[in-house]
Amino acid sequence: MNCEETTKLMDGYLDGELDAITNQAIEQHLRECHNCDQAYKTQRSLIRAIGNATPYYKAPSELRERIQSSLRKEIAEQSNGSGIPVDARPLIAKEHAESRSILFGTSWNWLALAAAIVFAAVIVWNVVPRLQRPAADQFLATQLIASHVRSLMANHLTDVASSDQHTVKPWLDEKLDFAPPVIDLSTEGFPLVGGRLDYLDKRPVAALVYQRRKHSVGHSMGNDHRIDLFPHCTCA
């Protein structure tokens, strides 16, 4: 071991971090070399002085309290919304209330928020058309009734008068671009009177007229059967 190597390993030697063989080699050199031994003693004193003189900054007690309360807040937020084990509730009850009061803070549960948005979208999707529909439907119903009443006033109840569905249906098929179903309801007490062409909701429709005792019943059909929604439109 020469002086250069000893100087290089000096700190490791002083810190007791070298292996036994290197330690022995350094000790051997220090016994032989006065300069290195002197440097060793100075460095050893300096290291001791540093250890003794530098202040050790102990943590103030309020830091411990700050940390403990922030950790409790953390677990309260973690379990906010997820399943909270019952035994953990008393510990976090206070923080739980606190994190609720700062609703717009960081404690938003994004999954819940997403669910709320989807829910709102579903409501809008379903309710808005329903709010708009009655006006349109009501208009159609008015048209339907008007058409029926008009047919009665002008004594123009039917274009094709027949109680036989097999006569009425081909007649309607011929006049329309769709084939309306013509059902025999005589067994139910609604014998067929005949069929008529109407113009409803900007398109030609089939109107079937059935008899109920002394009343006639109009039943109009579009090619998508939408008007089936209003099958019972009776007049004297």
Interface residues toward other proteins, by CB under 8 A: 8-12, 15, 17, 42-43, 45-47, 49-60, 63-64, 66-68, 70-72, 74-75, 78-79, 83-85, 87-88, 91-92
CB of 49 to other proteins, least distance (A): 3
CB of 10 to other proteins, least distance (A): 7
Residue 37 burial (CB count, 10 A): 14
d(CA 110, CA 105) in angstroms, rounded, equals: 12
CB of 22 to other proteins, least distance (A): 12
The burial of 82, by beta-carbon neighbours within 10 Å (0-12 exposed, 13-18 middle, 19 or more buried), is given as exposed
Nearer to other proteins, 39 or 197 (CB): 39
Check if the beta carbon of residue 3 is closer than 8 Å to that of residue 33. Answer: yes
In 59-109, alpha helices (H): 61-78, 89-101
- What are the beta bridge partners of residue 54? none
In 102-233, alpha helices (H): 110-153, 165-175
Give me 34's structure tokens.
């006065």
CB of 126 to other proteins, least distance (A): 29
Nearer to other proteins, 67 or 128 (CB): 67
CB of 37 to other proteins, least distance (A): 13
Nearer to other proteins, 11 or 228 (CB): 11
d(CA 198, CA 221) in angstroms, rounded, equals: 9
Nearer to other proteins, 10 or 161 (CB): 10
Check if the beta carbon of residue 216 is closer than 8 Å to that of residue 152. Answer: yes
Nearer to other proteins, 7 or 143 (CB): 7
Nearer to other proteins, 49 or 128 (CB): 49
CB of 69 to other proteins, least distance (A): 10
